[in-house]
């Protein structure tokens, strides 16, 4: 710092009024990115305004009457002092002992530093280059990840290392998530999905699969299953009857016995993953219902009918079973409740499988009326009907919206029994 600049800093540092004024100048420069704007005089005491007024050659009372202090005016006045060769920006930098930059520039520099940090991780963990490229190209979509990087860069780097290890050691055959976590990291809870590490892991898998990160349990389970990882293979189950199943060794003896004895099976994922084929004991039609009471009643009247009960929303086990049935050439006859969720499930099946594989069963306008809908739907649930776009469901969705009430399949059981020729 040259002598003139050092003298200027000492002079303005000698008065509290100038210290306070310069702090306001600094804030204004950070906001505008240039010398400009004004500082309100109300921020200063009468004594402080006397000091500042003396710099401008006017009394403090006149300074107060102006209502504000022009920063550009201060710089012009500086030219009339013994510090005329010093610009205000140069003086402010020296006064605060740092180069003052705008908030915008500071933000840009911070973002540039974060991007360089991620680029370095990309070089270090090359197997995850596809994911780091996604982060760099889609920062707005994964703002929470960038916030995590900014807040705890060292922690993120450690998690990135574990993600690389996990990606390099994906299971070749079905493996439970805790066992996978133990094998990769030594910690069975490392990839628990409520943790940052688990959320990052889902993000990696979704990016590689070319899909959005799933937000509901069913979709999360499907994504993990795509990579041979299972969260829960005992409590995730589906109910069925009248179906045969095969393994690589041939007919599964338990499924064969269940058909022979007309026994209903509750089948967890654990038992489904070993099956190579599932099909009806007779014919090619399989009846799919949402409600366990309806399923039980149908079995009372039609023992041995090939039937699947989803027990509400589709579990991963239910979808795995239905996938196998479609693969074997079956036709799925689906009957759900007349509420937004039931129509949503029907639409999902229609979109999941090829045309002709799914036939709606008592899910048209006439069936809705026959269900005697009496349960009023909330505005929030009615809004879900706007997501029903499949042509096979559009009419009944419109009628439901107009009526504003839900109907349930229990009211249609007698007709459903008649439909099943057994």
pLDDT tens per residue, range 257-295: 999 999 999 999 889 988 999 999 999 999 999 999 999
Residues 219 and 263 in one domain: no
User: How many helices and strands, by DSSP H and E, does the chain display?
Assistant: 22, 15
Task: Give me the pLDDT at residue 277, please.
Answer: 96
- How many independent structural domains does the chain possess? 3
Identify the domain boundary among 181, 198, 230: 230
Task: Give me the pLDDT at residue 56, please.
Answer: 94
- 2 pLDDT higher than 90: no
Give whole-number Cα distances, 345 to 286, 291, 334, 409, in Å: 17, 13, 9, 14
CA dihedral 68, 71, 74, 76 (to 10 degrees): -130
pLDDT tens per residue, range 185-225: 999 999 999 999 999 999 999 999 999 999 888 789 889 98
Identify the domain boundary among 101, 129, 156: 101
Predicted TM-score (pTM) of the model is 0.60
Residues 248 and 192 in one domain: no
Give whole-number Cα distances, 124 to 128, 129, 154, 161, in Å: 9, 9, 14, 9
pLDDT tens per residue, range 58-88: 999 999 999 999 999 999 999 999 999 999 9
Residues 90 and 137 in one domain: no
Task: Give me the pLDDT at residue 139, please.
Answer: 87
Residues 6+ apart with CB under 8 A from 43: 20, 24
Q: What is the CATH number of the domain that holds 276?
A: 3.40.1360.10
pLDDT tens per residue, range 18-72: 999 999 999 999 999 999 999 999 999 999 999 999 999 999 999 999 999 999 9
Identify the domain boundary among 171, 199, 230: 230
pLDDT tens per residue, range 321-344: 999 999 999 999 999 999 999 999
Q: What DSSP letter does each residue of 88-126 carry, written as one string?
A: HHHHHHHHHTS----HHHHHHHHHHHHHHHHHHHHHHTG
Residues 412 and 389 in one domain: yes
Domain residues for the domain of 129 are: 104-230
Task: Give me the pLDDT at residue 422, please.
Answer: 57
């Amino acid at each position: 710092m040259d002598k003139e600049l050092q003298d200027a800093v000492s002079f303005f540092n000698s008065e509290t009024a100038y210290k306070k004024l310069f702090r306001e100048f600094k804030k204004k420069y950070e906001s505008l990115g240039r010398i400009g704007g004004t500082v309100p005089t109300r921020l200063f005491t009468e004594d402080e305004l006397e000091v500042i007024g003396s710099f401008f050659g006017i009394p403090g009372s006149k300074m107060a009457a102006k209502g504000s202090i022009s920063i550009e005016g201060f710089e012009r006045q500086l030219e009339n002092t013994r510090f005329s060769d010093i610009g205000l920006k140069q003086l402010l930098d020296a006064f605060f002992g740092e180069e003052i930059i705008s908030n915008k520039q500071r933000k840009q520099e911070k973002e540039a530093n974060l991007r360089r940090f991620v680029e370095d991780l990309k070089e270090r963990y090359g197997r995850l280059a596809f994911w780091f490229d996604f982060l760099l190209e889609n920062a707005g979509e994964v703002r929470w990840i960038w916030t995590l990087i900014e807040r705890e860069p060292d922690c993120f780097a450690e998690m990135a290392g574990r993600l690389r290890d996990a990606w390099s050691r994906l299971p070749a055959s079905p493996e439970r998530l805790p066992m996978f976590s133990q094998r990769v990291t030594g910690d069975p809870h490392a990839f628990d999905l409520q943790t940052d590490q688990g959320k990052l892991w889902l993000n990696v898998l979704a990016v590689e699969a070319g899909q959005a990160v799933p937000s509901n349990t069913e979709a999360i389970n499907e994504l993990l299953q795509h990579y041979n990882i299972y969260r829960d293979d005992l409590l995730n189950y589906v109910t069925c009857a009248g179906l045969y199943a095969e393994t690589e060794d041939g007919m599964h003896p338990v499924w064969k016995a269940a058909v022979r004895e007309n026994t209903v099976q509750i089948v967890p994922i654990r038992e489904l993953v070993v099956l190579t084929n599932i099909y009806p004991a007779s014919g090619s039609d399989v009846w799919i219902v949402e409600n366990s009471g309806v399923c039980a009643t149908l079995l009372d009247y039609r023992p041995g009918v090939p039937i699947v009960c989803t027990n509400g929303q589709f579990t991963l086990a239910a979808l795995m079973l239905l996938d196998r049935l479609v693969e074997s050439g079956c036709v799925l006859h689906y009957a759900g409740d007349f509420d937004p969720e039931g129509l949503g499930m029907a639409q999902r099946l229609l979109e999941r499988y090829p045309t002709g594989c799914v036939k709606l069963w008592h899910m048209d306008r006439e069936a809705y009326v026959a269900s005697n809908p009496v349960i009023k739907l909330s505005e929030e649930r009615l809004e879900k009907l706007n997501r029903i776009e499949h042509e096979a469901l559009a009419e009944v969705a419109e009628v439901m919206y107009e009526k504003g009430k839900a109907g349930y399949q229990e009211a249609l059981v007698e007709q459903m029994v008649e439909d099943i020729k057994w």
